[in-house]
Amino acid sequence: MPALTAIWICLTVAVVAFGAPGSAWAADRVPKPEIAKAAGTECVRDADFMRANHMRLLRHQRDATVHRGRRPDEESLKGCLTCHAVPDAQTRPVGFDSPEHFCRSCHDYAAVSIDCFECHAARPPPGWQVKASGVNK
């Protein structure tokens, strides 16, 4: 689909242009998204791969889960949200209605609307707690 290709190109350009958050952006006049840090020590893949391909992993996982009943924690949407949940002032995870939500913080910035959370829970499963280290904020 041409539209999809155009979005891909835009995304790729955005990723290349803005690169990894941190030093390269520090003195930049271009506004940058405020993305919350994840609770875990490392993601299921490296950050560059995830920026470009997270939607592919999720799509593969959705078919494996819905049709074939394979439910590994790794690469599941629940797994993503458990690590990437952002706590609010009461240390409860924020929902997709909050601009601080991990997915929203970047998708708002990139102007790519997603409809995952019209059906899927945007918060991690019950029992989630803020990590003592506070790295998830």
Q: Which residues bind other proteins (CB under 8 A)?
A: 62, 64, 66-71, 78, 81, 95, 118-121, 123-125
**CA diameter of the chain:** 48
CB of 79 to other proteins, least distance (A): 11
CB of 63 to other proteins, least distance (A): 8
Buried b (16+ CB within 10 A) or exposed e, 64-84: eeeeeeeeeeebbbebbbbbb
Among all chains, which residue has been given the structure tokens 């242009």? Answer: 17
Q: What angle do CA 85, 63, 83 make, to 5 degrees?
A: 15
Q: Which is nearer to other proteins, 31 or 69 (CB)?
A: 69
Asked whether 93 and 85 are in contact (CB, 8 A), the reply is yes
Q: Which is nearer to other proteins, 42 or 118 (CB)?
A: 118
Q: Which is nearer to other proteins, 21 or 54 (CB)?
A: 54
CB of 97 to other proteins, least distance (A): 8
Give the Cα separation of 26 and 42 in Å (integer). 23
Q: Which is nearer to other proteins, 125 or 134 (CB)?
A: 125
Q: Which is nearer to other proteins, 81 or 83 (CB)?
A: 81
Among all chains, which residue has been given the structure tokens 């991990």? Answer: 102
CB of 44 to other proteins, least distance (A): 18
CB of 115 to other proteins, least distance (A): 8
